[in-house]
Amino acid sequence: MRKGFLQLTLSCPKAVGARGCRGSLRATAGNKRGARMSYRIAAGAKDGIAVAVPAGGKTFQLVSVERGRFGEKTTIRTLKR
C-alpha cells in the first residue's frame, strides 16, 4: 500500500468465455468508505487496479461485487495494514 492506495492484480479465468469478468471493488475501514472502482477484464487475462483505502484503523475490508450471467457475487476479505 502506498499513499492511501492498494495495488491489486485481478485475473479472469478463460472458462467464462467471451463475457469476461466485470464488477466493482471498494475498501472500507470502520465506518469510512473508499471510492468504488469498476473493472472489466477479458477472459484469460490479468489486470491491475488501484483501490483507495480510507485512513484509520488497523484493518480494512475489500468488498468485491462481480456481475455475471447468474447474478451478482459478493466477496469480502479482511486485511491488516
Contacts of 29 (CB under 8 A, 6+ apart): 53, 54, 55, 56, 57, 59, 60, 61
Distances (CA, A) of 65 to 2, 26, 57, 58: 24, 9, 23, 23
Give residue-wise pLDDT tens across range 4-29. 888 889 999 998 888 889 999 999 88
pLDDT at residue 18, as a whole number: 86
Cα separation of 42 and 40, whole Å? 7
Collapsed DSSP state (helix, strand, coil) of residue 55? coil
The three-point CA angle 76-8-16 to 5° equals 70
Domain boundaries defined on the chain: 5-80
CATH code given to domain 5-80: 2.60.40.2550
pTM given for the model: 0.76
